[in-house]
């Protein structure tokens, strides 16, 4: 259920106190970038990169994740208009409800960033069926529904963009990620198929396939547990966001940040699958999270990426 919405714009800077009065409210002028899962990690970094480039924003995430404060900060720091909508995207009608809410306010959307998702790690036998179903629903069903309801609006702008956040895991059947990796494979293939369909229209579709992203202490411990390869293949969310938005505007079909990750994708295509899976099993099997409860952890915006 949608809990709160608002618009913020103002003059708060990085060094100003968080206790300053809220900026005055106004409706965005011009089209907006819609970013889901925007309150933490990669989603927040993607929203900030859009704001840094002067784009107005519509931010979506779960209630009680700090979205009003983040909207205020981005509006003041970059002098753009920011509208936020707190909602649970696992609710079946939430994509259409978001669309109606935007339409009622006569806002326009020319960039859709489908970032919200759930990532888990661990043995399938220990996983929770409810968590697996939520992962499938959010990573696949919600993304498809959002794309479908906003596609007519996107086609009204020239150019317009869809950035779907997949993962490096999309290229492999991954032990310890037997549900997550296939959901990201769907995102990748859906993006490429839709891109081909929309050839000749104003809409450009890209799939972002990052490796590990260092977003919090738990994620850093997990990456450290993967050893040398984990360390050299990971990035900070700000790095990924800047690379992703730049290459989205360059109309790249598949966006893979980092030379090591590009090499991993290339080698994964020529090395026998059995060897690839042995490597993946060895790498992720060494993580303490494979033996603990991390598989049951939900992250609304890919807060932990283990690829």
Give the active site residues. Answer: 180
Under 8 Å between Cβ of 211 and 265: no
Residues 6+ apart with CB under 8 A from 9: 23, 24, 25, 26, 75, 76, 79, 80, 81, 82
CA distance 164 to 36: 10
Under 8 Å between Cβ of 110 and 31: yes
Helices 143-155, 94-104: inter-axial angle, 10-degree rounding: 30
What are the DSSP E strand ranges found in 166-229? Answer: 203-208
* Two structure tokens written together for 268: 């994964």
CA distance 230 to 250: 28
Burial of 158 (0-12, 13-18, 19+ CB in 10 A): exposed
DSSP character for 165? E
CA distance 236 to 242: 10
Q: Is there a cis peptide before residue 50, judged by omega within 30 degrees of 0?
A: no
């Amino acid at each position: 259920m949608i809990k709160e919405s608002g618009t913020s714009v103002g003059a708060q800077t990085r060094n100003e106190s968080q206790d300053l009065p809220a900026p005055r409210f106004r409706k965005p002028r011009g089209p907006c970038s819609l970013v889901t899962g925007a309150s933490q990690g990669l989603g927040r970094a993607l929203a900030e990169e859009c704001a840094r480039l002067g784009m107005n924003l519509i931010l979506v995430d779960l209630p009680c994740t700090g979205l009003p404060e983040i909207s205020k900060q981005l509006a003041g720091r970059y002098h753009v208009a920011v509208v936020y909508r707190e909602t649970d995207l696992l609710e079946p009608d939430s994509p259409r409800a978001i669309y109606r809410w935007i339409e009622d306010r006569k806002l326009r959307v020319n960039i859709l960033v489908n970032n919200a998702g759930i990532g888990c790690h661990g043995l399938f036998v220990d996983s929770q069926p409810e968590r697996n179903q939520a992962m499938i629903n959010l990573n696949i069903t919600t993304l498809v529904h959002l794309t479908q309801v906003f596609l007519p609006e996107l086609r009204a702008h020239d150019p317009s963009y869809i950035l779907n956040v997949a993962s490096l895991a999309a290229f492999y059947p991954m032990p310890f990620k037997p549900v997550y990796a296939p959901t990201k494979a769907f995102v990748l293939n859906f993006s490429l198929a839709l891109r081909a369909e929309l050839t000749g229209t104003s809409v450009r579709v890209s799939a972002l396939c990052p490796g590990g992203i260092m977003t919090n202490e738990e994620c850093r411990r997990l990456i450290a547990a993967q050893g040398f390869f984990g360390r050299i293949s990971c990035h900070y969310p700000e790095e990924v966001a800047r690379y992703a938005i730049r290459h989205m505007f360059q109309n790249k079909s598949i966006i893979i940040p980092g030379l090591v990750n590009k090499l991993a994708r290339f080698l994964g295509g020529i090395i026998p699958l059995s060897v690839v899976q042995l490597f993946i099993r060895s790498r992720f099997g060494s993580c303490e999270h494979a033996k603990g409860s991390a598989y049951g952890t939900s992250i609304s915006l890919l807060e932990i990426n283990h690829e």
